[in-house]
Amino acid sequence: MRKGQNMSYNFFISSNIIFGKGSVAELPGLIQKHGLKKIMVVYDGGVKAAGIADQIVDQVKASGADYVIFDGVIPNPTNQVVEQAAALAKDEEVQGFVAVGGGSSIDLAKAVNVLMTNPGKIEDYGGVGQVKHDLLPLIAVPTTAGTSSEITNVSALIDTEKVVKYVVIDNRLVASDVICDPEFTRTMPVSVTAATGMDAITHAVESYISNMANPLTEYNSLQGLSILYRNLPKAVENGEDMEAREQMMLGCIITGFGFSNANLGLNHAIAHTLSAHFGLAHGMANACVLPYVMAFNAEACPEKMVEMASTIGIAPTGDMEKDQYLLSEALLEMTRKLHIRTLSEQNIKREDFDMLAGEVLKEVPLQFNPRQGVTKEDVIGILEKAY
């Protein structure tokens, strides 16, 4: 037990996880287990183009269930897309969901699922623990290794009116079943592998130092970091390295257990703001600021920074003044190696920093950040470094 750590804590996991090559063959059995007669299959164009959607639909057909397709998933899904998909799901009287894809598809399906059994609009459920009624069965089939949405109790959405990316966090959102077939990540392009993998590393690091962390989340976050850090460069270098692909998927699940319970922090607060205002992909938005946010946070949790550095194979020197930055330095090196773009390379303008920093301060994940009392100037300083 860490000094000063609360002795009582909560750790929630509820998903049935089926992991391994060919595990998609389990899908018909899962649909039958839940007794689903009509399903909505949710995916995006990329999943369709990769030929994965057809494989899933074939399995749904094999279950004997009727189905309706929603293929209008967009990156950073909006309230409008949620409402559109929910209207279709209600019209068709679906009894459950199969969500195939990255975080956007799975987050969208979770949000639609909320509206199947809860009244009102999806934005009514923003924040933590606002969902009143249990949801319909949701089977998640991830095709990226990054968001851990297949494991978490989070749905991240864009409110286009308020221009904000917000989160619905509730244990009721957790998928009932997860099918993790590493084969589905084989076709992920290099840049997506890098960005989504860095998102996963951000989850491991942020949840490890979160002020909600407890021994069970810390165990998962640290183990996840170790696996992800070792395997991401391999998966980026050679997308056909199926051992690395499999390990990335495994790392995401383990990390998901950690951050679904410990939450995230300042890094995701900045990333959400960048996505909401300038449409940056979630993984890229996280990756480009990660080394600087960790350097900023180091003074609030130097021991944990050293523990994470040791986990990824960097031995401390014994000089805490320097050692607390070993992790942020390693992360900077990693982002450079993986060609993560700077803010200027992503067309973010310096004149928007003041507005962005103001928006970051309103973000929900900030409350879980280990370094509290973050100011506008602090955020601008981080954005300057990431420019």
Chain residues that interact with Zn ion, rule: CB under 5 A: 199
User: Cβ neighbours of residue 18 under 8 Å, at least 6 residues apart?
Assistant: 26, 30, 177, 178, 179, 180
Q: Which is nearer to Zn ion, 177 or 199 (CB)?
A: 199
Q: Which is nearer to Zn ion, 55 or 143 (CB)?
A: 143
Helical spans, DSSP H, in the chain: 27-33, 45-49, 52-63, 79-91, 103-117, 190-209, 215-237, 242-262, 266-278, 282-297, 302-311, 320-323, 326-337, 353-360, 376-386
User: Shortest gap between Cβ of 202 and Zn ion (angstroms)?
Assistant: 6
**What's the closest the beta carbon of residue 357 comes to Zn ion, in angstroms?**
20
* Smallest separation (angstroms) from Zn ion to the CB of 295: 19
In the complex, the smallest distance separating the C-beta of residue 250 from Zn ion, rounded to whole angstroms, is 18
Quick one: residue 5, left, alpha or beta (phi over 0 = left, psi -120 to 50 = alpha)? beta
Element (H, E) at 77: none
CB atoms within 10 A of CB 339: 12
Which is closer to Zn ion, CB of 113 or CB of 147?
147
User: Closest distance between Zn ion and the C-beta of residue 318, in Å?
Assistant: 34
* Angle between helical axes of 353-360 and 376-386 (0-180°, round to 10): 130
Toward Zn ion, which CB reaches closer, 107 or 199? 199
**Count of C-beta atoms within a 10 Å radius of residue 26:** 18
Q: Which residue is nearest to Zn ion (CB)?
A: 199
Name the minimum Å distance from CB 286 to Zn ion.
Answer: 6
Q: Choose between 63 and 263: whose C-beta lies nearer to Zn ion.
A: 263
How many Å apart are CA 119 and CA 116, to the nearest integer? Answer: 8
Residues found in the chain = 387
Rank residues 270 and 332 by Cβ distance to Zn ion and give the closer one: 270
Q: Measuring CA to CA, which residue among 141, 136, 127 is closest to residue 99? A: 141
Give least dist CB 38 to Zn ion, A.
32
- Which residue number, 40 or 366, has a Cβ lying nearer to Zn ion? 366
